[in-house]
Chain A
Amino acid sequence: MTPLEKFLLGITVPSGAYVCIVLGYVALAYIAVIVFVVGVLYRVIRWAVTPKGPGGLYWGLYRLTLYPNVHSFWKAAGWIFVRMFTFYTLLKENFGYVSGGFWFGLILFHYSIWATLLFHGNIIAYALNMYFHVPLAVKYWLGIVAGVLAYAGLIYLAIRRAYVQARTKVKINYFDDWLLVLQLLIIMGFGLAAKCTAYPSSFTEEAIRSYVHSTYSSGPLAPIKGELVHLVKEYGSVMFILIGEWFKGLLTGNINLAVKAMYCVAVYHPLELVHVFFAEWFLIYIPWSKMIHMFMMPFNPALYGKFEPKEPALQVAIDIVEGRR
């Protein structure tokens, strides 16, 4: 057990807060992950086991392949991969439109989201004692830039959504579409705000010290504010460490640790608390909403099918023409 863990476990949490945190950040966290994993597996397996159609055919067809020259599994997989990661069909011209803006918005949004999720992965790595050290300024700025870009992408996509409906007069926006946008705005907005406010202004010795002393001079972490200076020098922020300890508690089943780490987050970084709470609900929401789209492409028969090569049949024709048959 690290000295920090030992200290956190010694904190006293008011009983009302303890119960709330157990419900909102332990029970709900477990439920969210279980629902997410089981839900996604359920959906994906359901797609996989749903038969192609009567007689094992797609309404009488052996395949629904869309692309020409796809004669192998790998080529089909390649197209799916390219579609998933480049969104290239958006750059195909149609009556004067190349949806460059849409494409850029999607790239901005998705790649920035993936980047921020990767950074979140480092928190789990911390919880597993596998923390990957990144220079602190790089870590801070990359996180903020990725967050801002993802947010900008999201806002652009939301505006575009409304614009397309207005332009084409085709109703594409329903309550569930806006609910999704709203959830992302909240989760990403609070996450970004928490990130921006939870770090010292720079990573010089002096800045870290003055930030830690002003932020943590009262409340449960006050007794170890001297230690916190060292931890911030190593990990960049106390919030990062607290969330890491929360993960550690959840992963190891040490509920007490998880609750107490989250209690400290509540005291010092309430914005993060909102971010985590909505993220938990979002995990539950993903498998039952159109967010499931991210797992869809490998199951799409229009994309994964393959044709037989024409050469063997052509060879028969050639043999007949040339009198070998």
Chain B
Amino acid sequence: MTAEKKIPPHIPSLKRDPIPESPKFEEWLKWYAEKFPESSKWINARKLMVEKFLREAEFEPGKFVKTRDFWWKLSPEERIRFFVERFREVIRENRALRLYLENCTHCGYCIDKCQMWIATRDYHNSPVGRVDLVRAIFKYYDKLTGKLFSKLVDAKELTEQLMEELWIYFHQCTECRRCAYFCPFGIDTAEVTRAVRQIFAEMGMVYEFVGNTVRSLMKTGNHMFLNAKAIKAVFDMVQEEIKEETGKDIEIPLDKPKAKILFLPSSTDVFTNLDTLKGFVKTMYALGLQDKYTFSSEVFEVGNFGLFVSDYHLTRQGKRIAEVATRLGAELVIFGECGHGWRAFKNYVIPELEKRGIKAIHFMQLVVWAIKKRKLKLRKLDYVVTYHDPCNLSRAGDLIEEPRIILRTVCKEFREREHNKHRTLCCGAGTGLLGDDVIPLRVWAGWPSVYDAWKTGAQILATPCSIDKAQFPVVINYHIPGQMTVKGLADLVGYALEL
């Protein structure tokens, strides 16, 4: 770090701070000085006042929304009353939340573990500062000492201003759970975030990008408003491309009845991540599974933005997958590439499938088995590659070693990053912080992770996560354009496969 590239003393800094390492450091300083107080404006797309949207996203009174009306029809007082009542209810119903609110010792160890704090150096953007916002309400409404000595113990009555802060800061937590790993007690801020967002969602308040994605999910079973016709059109095109590349005419099965295997891709695999889709298709072909699997237009999605909105939406999509798999008579469901989706899948859908006698695995688990048994003919790609552990794979999904085995097999050289596995850094766009309105936040929240990868000198940043694949190119392009390429694991397997 050169002398002038240092965080000024009035801003809290880290020992080996990643922020000054960005070529755009000067912009960060300007941004910090000028825009920081305005950061509350970032997450401002909250007024989803379209009746159609609410209907399609199944935010319906009685069915999901528990307010007697949608939030904009409530007076500020009614909103506060709703939040407080619901919050007190939730505390009684939710073990994790109660535990996390009651047990923080304020040791401060988690603060500089959060990429949102690293990006913004904002008090409430640290795990403890974030949870303290709700802890203050909890103390005020649920603790005698909070009522009696509110100032002394930082207990606060809920006001419009505080509600605003709750909205802002709980929409800047990416639920990455890095803090939970580091915290001596394992206090999981992401669970507090999920609870707060659930209450907001019940009031009809959802971050626009996420809300629209959920709307699509509820309507179509995927995040991108895709129907069977659109999927088929892309499949035909991809089939052509594979034929050109390999000389093999591999039909990509969609809605094939009585398939033994249901394959779930990410809906972005027919948009920006076509190489990921090709990787899946080629691998299934190479394993002789061509006639035994199918994609389904009803559940053309591994992602599940319900995880970021409410348990209702999460389980709704999860049940749909289980229903489709059952109807198909599938014996196995293979999960493609997605980070948050794997968390929902692993921790909700798989147990649901198990109840129906259907098993499920991750695509990478299948590939690793095939590598070990020499079932795939793989050449070494001339790439130096590093791996970004998606938070939800390493800290919520029991998947750490498989991608490393794959990358060591298919690439010339694999380089570990410094902050990896449990300590992996979030891409900065988790929980669907993917809107253009949050670009300033995204490019800096994603930088610590990109910097970690960049430092390895690798040319490829591999990640089996659709949000990463959408986020990292934006971050790379902003800080170090052209210096790294982002690829999915399946993409690389696809390139390396000899059919």
Contacts and interface: CB of A to CB of B under 8 A. Distances in A.
A94 interface: yes
Interface string B234-270: 0000000000000000000000000011000000000
A321 B188 contact: no
B292 interface: yes
Interface string A286-325: 0010101100110111110001101011101110110001
Nearest to B288: A321
Contacts of B98: 46-47, 50
Given A174-B106, A296-B103, A301-B96, A69 B398 contact: yes
A287 to B, nearest CB: 11
- Which of B95, B149, B375, B399 has most chain A Cβ within 10 Å? B95
Interface stretch (A127-135, A165-173, A240-248): A165-173
A49 B14 CA distance: 41
A299 B111 CA distance: 23
The size class of the interface chain A forms with chain B is 35 or more
A3 interface: no
Given A50-B92, A310-B365, A94 B112 contact: yes
A192 to B, nearest CB: 23
Given A171-B123, A314-B365, A90 B350 contact: no
B153 interface: yes
A16 interface: no
Given A64-B191, A96-B16, A174-B154, A307 B129 contact: no
B371 interface: no
B116 interface: no
Nearest to A300: B186
Contact of B311 (A57, A65, A87): A57
Interface in B56-115: 92-96, 98-99, 102-109, 111-113
Contacts of B292: 320
B296 interface: no
Contacts of A50: 92-95, 98
- Which of A87, A161, A176, A321 has most chain B Cβ within 10 Å? A321
A55 to B, nearest CB: 7
Interface of B: 12, 14-18, 92-96, 98-99, 102-109, 111-113, 117-118, 121, 123, 126, 128-129, 132, 145, 149, 152-154, 177, 180-188, 191, 194-195, 198, 260-261, 287-289, 292, 306-307, 310-312, 314-315, 318, 331-332, 334, 343-344, 346-348, 350-351, 354, 359-361, 365-366, 369-370, 375, 394-400, 418-419, 422-423, 448
17 contacts: A50-B94, A51-B94, A51-B95, A59-B94, A65-B347, A90-B109, A93-B423, A95-B112, A97-B112, A164-B111, A173-B106, A297-B186, A300-B99, A300-B186, A307-B398, A314-B365, A325-B260
Give me the 7 closest cross-chain CB pairs, A-B, nearest first.
A96-B15, A96-B16, A60-B311, A60-B314, A313-B359, A175-B152, A164-B108
